[in-house]
Structures are given as structure tokens and as C-alpha cells.
Amino acid sequence: MSHNVRLEQITRHLDAKFNIQNIPPDMPFSKVMPRIYDAEEIEFKKYLTDSFTQSFHGLMIKNLGEIYRVYLSVFLSKEILDKIFAKNGKGGLIFSHHPMEMETSNRGFLPLPEEYFQEIQKRDIAVYVLHTPLDIHEDISTSQSIAKKLKLKNCQRYKRHSIGYEGISGELPEKKNFEDFIPILRKLFGVEEIHFIKRFNNIHRVGIIAGGGADVEYIKETIRLGCDTYLSGDYENKIKNEYSLQKRKEFEEVKDVLQINLIECSHYATEKVVMINEIKELFEGYGLHVAFIEQDNAWY
């Protein structure tokens, strides 16, 4: 049976567990979020906590102090908020990996219209965001959660980010044929559409970077670790802006010579695994009702 918990109690525990006071301001959101909202002339900071506008970690929007249910999301999007509002969500807490909406195959990060901030306040909903802290945590992280589900052994962390590492590599308990591995991933991530470039028939050592892994340097570092397979949300950047165009060009120039299997299962799907497992369990430990809010299109 669920019961109410003080927001202050939850945030104090989460802040300490994910070490947010010792992590530098979030990248990219400490730069991206003000730039995008300022361009739309939305005074977003008036809705956010002072601590969040400094670090872009932790409690983003306060409520009156009581939490009786938790909604988990990968992106804080209009779609997700509409689904929460439709559930008549009042007095709840939204725990999101990203503080913004993202079209991973089109425009990239998008601002929330101001009326959504107003509706969040009206419904007395709190919002807590962990981006970098959830990517680099040594126990509960986006990539670590996938590694646990695949039962990887002899693991090592890699791909430096902020004060930690967001990638993890390790060996499967037994070698898998490539064609047998793809259905395992479909089940794990709950997606039918998976993209890949096959180089080797057998898969043994896998490097994982959940979410946005579309960078040639990430792939090359995975190869240097002796991995035969690179698993990420994206290996090719699909966003339609100048920066992403350059990243796609870099990838196209080398993709035919990269000696590693490349598998992408969508930014969203690879980052939801930690939400529906470790994060859900964490909040259930408070005796709270917890629901993960699904995004309709994993490749949106």
C-alpha cells in the first residue's frame, strides 16, 4: 500500500545518493536549456528552483511538499506530461532523466510551452531531474542497468564524462551468434526496430553507452578496449542541425572501416531500462506508487 512521503525527505536522499553537490553543472543542459528557452523568449527560470538553475541537477520544480505517487520518464516532453495530466496526476513527483523534450531523429532538444509549466504548478506536481548523475553513477546508471540485464562479467567503466564514466564494457556469459543477439535486445528494450552494421558473426565483449552514443571517438574507444560490439541508443546522429550534420559526416567517412559490430536501439529505449528497473525499485522502497510513462515512438 502506498503512502505519502515528504518531498524534502526524497530529495535529500536522492541528492546524497547521486552525489549531485559534487558534480559540476550538467552538460549539455546547463548550456542548452537557457539558450533554447531564451531563443523562444520563455522565462523558464521563474518556474524552477534556484539550485536547479545553478547545477541543472536535482529538484527542478517544487510542489507543496507531499508526494504520494511517482511518474518516471526518459524525456520531459509534452507527450509525457499530457499522459500524466490525463491520469489526473496531482501531488505527484515526476522523475525524469532529461529536463527537456527531444526529437532524436529531427529537431533535437525542444522547449516546453509555458502553459505546461503553469499546469505542472497548478496540479502541484514536483519534478526531479538526473541527467549526468544518472549516467555516471557507479551502481545505478543508464549503461550499468543494461550491463546487468545482459549479465556482463569482467566489466570496466570507460568514456569519461564529468567526474565519472558513462560507458561500461564487459563479456557476455557465453558467446552469442549475432542473429541470436538481436532478438535478445528487442525483448530487453521493448522495441522491434533495431539498426545494426554487422562485422563479426560472434559477439563476446560488448561496449555499452546508453542514450546518445553517436560519436566516432566513442566507437574508437570501444574498439581499443577489445570489444567486438558497440551497443548504444544511436551510433549515427540523426538530429537535423549543423553540429549533427558534422557528426554524421565524420561517421560516414569511417563507418566502412570500423572493425566492430554497431547496434543502435534508440536513445529512449536504452535509457528507459534503468528507469523500469533500478529507479522504480528505489522509489518503491519509500512505499510509493510508481509508474513508468511510455513514449509512443522510441525513435521520435
Chain segment 43-86, per-residue pLDDT in tens: 999 999 999 999 999 999 999 888 989 999 999 999 999 999 99
Domain coverage including residue 117: 5-134
Do 20 and 106 sit in the same domain of this protein?
Answer: yes
Do 89 and 188 sit in the same domain of this protein?
Answer: no
pTM for this entry: 0.96
Chain segment 176-197, per-residue pLDDT in tens: 999 999 999 999 999 999 999 9
Q: Please measure the distance between the N-terminal and C-terminal CA atoms of the chain and give it in whole angstroms.
A: 35
Do 72 and 177 sit in the same domain of this protein?
Answer: no
Retrieve residue 38's grid coordinates: 531564451
Do 98 and 86 sit in the same domain of this protein?
Answer: yes
Tell me whether residue 191 is in a domain: yes
Do 145 and 242 sit in the same domain of this protein?
Answer: yes
Q: Environment class of residue 22 by beta-carbon count within 10 Å: exposed (0-12), middle (13-18) or buried (19+)?
A: exposed
| Number of structural domains in the chain | 2
Instruction: Answer yes or no: are the C-beta atoms of 135 and 161 closer than 8 Å.
Output: yes
pLDDT at 210 over 80: yes
